[in-house]
Amino acid sequence: MDISIDRYLDDGKSSLVTLALRSRTTEMHSVLSALDAGQKAAVNKALKDALDEIVAVIQPVAAGMPKK
């Protein structure tokens, strides 16, 4: 089971990052699969908030990289 969120760091299509929560065992797959809609929304919000913090760190670095 995989729950992920994507974010472009710029207006183009070249700076895409993904943050994912992935089950690594059968038991955890069952747990993630059993989440109801509200719980899945809460997990997505947590991933979005975490990705916001990560992007704040890496976006300035990405902006300074040469464009291909």
Domain boundaries, the chain: 2-63
Residue 23: is it exposed, middle or buried by C-beta count within 10 angstroms (0-12/13-18/19+)? middle
The answer to whether 12 and 26 have CB atoms below 8 angstroms apart is no
Torsion of CA 22, 35, 40, 5, to 10 degrees: 10
Where do we find the tokens 């997990």?
A: 43
The pTM (predicted TM-score) of the whole model is 0.83
- Per-residue pLDDT reduced to its tens digit, 3-30: 999 998 877 777 899 999 999 999 999 9
Q: What is the DSSP letter of 24?
A: -
pLDDT at 58: 93
- Say what the pLDDT of residue 30 is: 97
Interval 36-59: pLDDT, tens: 999 999 999 999 999 999 999 999
